Amino acid sequence: MSEPRASDVPPVLTGWRIGVVGLGLMGTPMARRLAAAGAELALWNRSIEKAEALASELRGVSAQPSPRHVAEASDIVIVMVTDADAVREVVFDPVDDQWGVLHGLAEDGIVVDMGTTGLSATQDLAGRLRMGGGNWIDAPVSGGTTAAEDGSLTIMVGASDPDFARVEPVLRVLGKRVTHVGAVGSGQVAKTANQMIVGMTIGAVAEAMALGRRAGVDPGLLREAIMGGFAQSRILELHGERMATGDFRARAKATIQRKDMRAALALAQTAGIALPGLETNAALWEAMVESGFGDLDHSALILAVDPPLED
């Protein structure tokens, strides 16, 4: 992956001190864009080699030995890790109680959680950080690695008005559509709704492609035929192609999608609403992972809908 050209990212963050904790599929291209925009970056990753490699490649970037050190070198800390447990670990360090972001965060510093953490966990984590003198923003994203690379992420933000104003220039470097949904936690509600639609739409495309194949129509031609009608969608375009070609290299693992569907079920229960379509689709994701397909791309849901015929 190449560093964004200077012309791609205007240097609007010159003088900003930003930390990035978590350099996975999303965190790495996001860090590249922030560096290209002129920010002074402090990085940490569980595999420290990733942070060191990126720091050696990018100007104004340093690798730090712990999340606490990242916070000490930053005014805003972006956290991009797998789930709520991982967020809790890097921010609060429940084991040694000294290496988490909280322990290096300046008074009135900001933590921006850009992962899919869920409403309940976000409210708990935000409350704990406030007691420690910090501010929490939930800003989960949609769009995948391609959007992270070109700065076209959709970002759903839960924050107070003053905190949103402080981080908006940073988010505008990372995303094309940045929406302040409401108070802390609102971004996670929006992301849960987004992931619910993604999971259910992948299921609809998988069932349609499976039906076509069983009825004797080539899946690739079926996708091409319906791309121009009302069924057209980004998921039909991208995931439908992967289903047709059998390219299930993980861009977003099925285990992560299952986690998101579980979060949607939990939120529905909390909100007191029955969603039968969600319940049916979530069961399909459970079956997919239990069948051993969890590490494949979530487009591989078609394998759970219609397993390939054995020779």
Reported as type and span, the H/E element at residue 63 is strand 61-63
**Span 91-110, average pLDDT:** 93
**Span 207-218, average pLDDT:** 97
User: Do 98 and 214 fall into the same domain?
Assistant: no
Reported as type and span, the H/E element at residue 42 is strand 40-44
- pTM (2 d.p.): 0.88
Please check whether residue 144 lies inside any domain of the structure. Answer: yes
Domain C-terminal end among 149, 183, 217: 183
User: Do 24 and 133 fall into the same domain?
Assistant: yes
Buried b (16+ CB within 10 A) or exposed e, 29-61: bbbbbbbbbbbbbbbbbeeeebbebbbeebeeb
Please check whether residue 54 lies inside any domain of the structure. Answer: yes
- What per-residue confidence (pLDDT) applies to 9? 76
Residue linked to tokens 């409401």: 182
Cα R_g (the chain), whole angstroms: 20
Between 135 and 146, the more confident residue is 135
User: Do 175 and 219 fall into the same domain?
Assistant: no
* Cα distances (Å, whole numbers) of residue 224 to 190, 193, 280, 294: 31, 28, 28, 28
Please check whether residue 202 lies inside any domain of the structure. Answer: yes
Dist. CA 228–CA 55, nearest whole Å: 45
Q: Is 191 a catalytic residue?
A: yes
SS3 of 93, please? coil
For 244, phi and psi rounded to 5 degrees? -70, -35
Given 50, 191, 253, 259, the catalytic residue: 191
User: Do 79 and 207 fall into the same domain?
Assistant: no
6 is written with which tokens?
């200077």
Domain C-terminal end among 183, 212, 241: 183
**Span 278-301, average pLDDT:** 97
CATH no. for residue 148? 3.40.50.720
- What per-residue confidence (pLDDT) applies to 293? 96
Q: 4-18, 44-58, 62-76, 108-122: which has the minimum mean pLDDT?
A: 4-18
For 229, phi and psi rounded to 5 degrees? -100, -165
**Span 51-56, average pLDDT:** 97
- What per-residue confidence (pLDDT) applies to 8? 67
The DSSP letter of residue 101 is G
Please check whether residue 273 lies inside any domain of the structure. Answer: yes
Question: How many domains would you assign to the chain?
Answer: 2
Between 227 and 2, the more confident residue is 227
**Span 161-179, average pLDDT:** 97
Please check whether residue 3 lies inside any domain of the structure. Answer: no
User: Do 259 and 179 fall into the same domain?
Assistant: no
**Span 41-56, average pLDDT:** 96
Dist. CA 88–CA 131, nearest whole Å: 15
Residue 75 has pLDDT above 60, yes or no: yes
Residue 6 has pLDDT above 60, yes or no: no
Please check whether residue 311 lies inside any domain of the structure. Answer: no
What confidence tier does 298 reach under pLDDT thresholds 50, 70, 90?
Answer: very high
Domain extent at residue 204: 190-305
- What per-residue confidence (pLDDT) applies to 201? 98
What confidence tier does 4 reach under pLDDT thresholds 50, 70, 90?
Answer: very low
Dist. CA 60–CA 83, nearest whole Å: 29
User: Do 243 and 283 fall into the same domain?
Assistant: yes
Residue linked to tokens 């712990």: 66
CATH no. for residue 239? 1.10.1040.10
- What per-residue confidence (pLDDT) applies to 144? 85
Mean pLDDT score across all residues of the chain: 94
44, β-bridge pairs? 21
41, β-bridge pairs? 18, 61
Domain C-terminal end among 142, 157, 183: 183
